[in-house]
Amino acid sequence: MEIIRSSQIAIEVWGGISCLFAVLILIRTRHFDKKGTSRLSVLMVSLTFLLFFDALSWFARGNTSSWGYYAVRIANFCTFLMQFLSIAVFANYMEHLIFRRTGKNHRNWIISAYCLAGVGTVILILSRIFHFMYAFDENNTYYRADYFYLTGAVVAVGLILAFFVLMRYLRYFRRIERISVVTYLSLTIVAVVLQYFFYGVSFGILATAFSTMLLFICHIFDYIEYSVGAQKALHDTRLMLISHRMQPHFIFNSLSVIRHLSVYQPEEAPRAINEFSAFLRGCIDLLNEDVCIPAAKEFDIVRHYIYFQQKRFGDDLNVEYDIRDDSFELPAFTVQNAVENAVSHGLRGKDGPQSGTVTVRSYRCEGEFIVEVEDDGAGFDPEEVSDDGRVHTGIRDTRERLAYMCGGTMEIESVPGSGTKVTVRIPEEKKEKRRARV
């Protein structure tokens, strides 16, 4: 019996420590599914307390000292309490998983699970007063009372309720999710039955711990699949962006500018070649960069691009820079895309003389890095989709990349005939946190 007791204490302590490490891993992956990760983390934390309290109850059992007297009573009470709370916490997480897979809410299930946990808690408190579920002898040893089965009954009802709800949607789950859910329900129900007939091993708690760890592993597999897909999508997007910047018409226009300068302004031709080379190198280098690039590098690409546009349009294009802060990172071509739209669709879209000013600002304000690209060109209605869809597709893609890569946003203020202002906001956070999103 002592070997079984020592083994169980060791298993539960190591299980609790493993759960704490699992919570730390979940915190690092919370950007994947914030609500689901939070609910699973709560489930893992509740399991940690359940394991530690049960281990303490076994450790203090039979200790007749003052410390042992209070420890065994507090630990047993908290163990039963965490078992009841785990019913609601498990239902809360699984309801979110159902919503992710089917888009359907089951708030009634959550309410029922919390009510059941409340009933179990009330029974537990009354039992401590009247000792009808469990009690302690003169050796400070726990023993079952006449109505000890009420604990298992409350847990069993919660599991049966979860069984009927989850079986209805099991076909929508992934294979590993189905395995983990079925294992959780079946193994825990069997353990509760065994606990009724056999005393000396916490079958129900050990089964719950094993099954919950399966749910955690399932979540990690889901996260890995998500990360691989996101990496591929971002890589494809980056290639698409680079391909867009390297379109033949831009290369031809740039070469035409260089040829013109070689004939009429030969002293300026070497700089034009250097600018063109730097622009191409900057675009190609992005293939080997992290998802987000330093803002300083983004502004360099913008300057190279603007150089050729100013050589093409001369005094018709005026550009003003007000770069007060570039100590942050952002998705590649975020600013350059806004500047290109300002030149191509803003200034060149004006009626009458094709002239105007593009202003590029960057500064820090109230925990955010802010980049503004403003022009006094033709403007447009952000609510309308243009005939070719190019501008608005670029806006949508840029917003999606900002949101995923760095938690940023992009706002557009534009009035037809009055110009456009694009504002990019990026939360001020550590680079390590931002890189953890990929």
What are the φ/ψ torsions at residue 306 (nearest 5 degrees)?
-65, -35
When pLDDT is averaged across residues 158-163 and rounded to a whole number, the result is 92
Is pLDDT of 431 > 50?
Answer: no
Is pLDDT of 412 > 70?
Answer: yes
CATH number of 173's domain: 1.20.1070
Q: Sign of the C-alpha dihedral, residues 129, 134, 139, 140?
A: negative
Residue 434: predicted pLDDT: 46
When pLDDT is averaged across residues 369-385 and rounded to a whole number, the result is 78
Does the residue 290 lie in any domain? no
Is pLDDT of 41 > 50?
Answer: yes
Domain boundary pick from 228, 249, 265 = 228
Are 208 and 324 within one domain?
no
Does the residue 164 lie in any domain? yes
Are 326 and 201 within one domain?
no
Does the residue 294 lie in any domain? no
When pLDDT is averaged across residues 210-229 and rounded to a whole number, the result is 84
Residue 248: predicted pLDDT: 61
Are 72 and 220 within one domain?
yes
When pLDDT is averaged across residues 295-303 and rounded to a whole number, the result is 90
Instruction: Specify the higher pLDDT residue, 56 or 291.
Output: 56
Is pLDDT of 293 > 50?
Answer: yes
Does the residue 271 lie in any domain? no
CATH number of 388's domain: 3.30.565.10
Does the residue 293 lie in any domain? no
Are 125 and 18 within one domain?
yes
DSSP 99-160: HHHH----HHHHHHHHHHHHHHHHHHHHHHHH-SSEEE-TTS-EEE-TTTHHHHHHHHHHHH
Residue 331 bridge partners (DSSP): 292
Range of the domain at 428: 316-435
Does the residue 156 lie in any domain? yes
Are 216 and 335 within one domain?
no
When pLDDT is averaged across residues 84-110 and rounded to a whole number, the result is 89
Does the residue 61 lie in any domain? yes
Is pLDDT of 102 > 90?
Answer: no
CA distances in angstroms from 36 to 31, 50, 84, 220, listed in the order given: 10, 21, 21, 12
Instruction: Specify the higher pLDDT residue, 264 or 289.
Output: 264
Residue 399: predicted pLDDT: 78
Is pLDDT of 23 > 60?
Answer: yes
Mean residue pLDDT across the chain: 83
pLDDT in tens, 61-92: 989 999 999 999 999 999 999 999 999 999 99
Domain boundary pick from 228, 260, 295 = 228
pLDDT band at 200 (very low <50, low <70, confident <90, very high): confident
Among 203-217, 263-277, 374-388, which range has the highest average pLDDT?
203-217
Are 34 and 174 within one domain?
yes
Does pTM top 0.95 for this prediction? no
Residue 363: predicted pLDDT: 93
Does the residue 204 lie in any domain? yes
Among 117-126, 272-281, 296-305, 406-415, which range has the highest average pLDDT?
117-126
Is-contact 417 407, C-beta < 8 A?
A: no
Among 244-258, 356-370, 424-438, which range has the highest average pLDDT?
356-370
Are 62 and 191 within one domain?
yes
Instruction: Tell me the C-alpha distance between 110 and 284, whole Å.
Output: 52
Is-contact 396 357, C-beta < 8 A?
A: no
Are 320 and 224 within one domain?
no
Residue 17: predicted pLDDT: 94
* Domain count for the chain: 2
Q: Sign of the C-alpha dihedral, residues 186, 187, 192, 195?
A: positive
Instruction: Tell me the C-alpha distance between 195 and 191, whole Å.
Output: 6
CA distances in angstroms from 249 to 243, 252, 336, 389, listed in the order given: 12, 5, 17, 19
Are 165 and 26 within one domain?
yes
pLDDT in tens, 311-335: 888 878 888 999 999 889 988 888 9
Domain boundary pick from 160, 194, 228 = 228
Residue 233: predicted pLDDT: 59
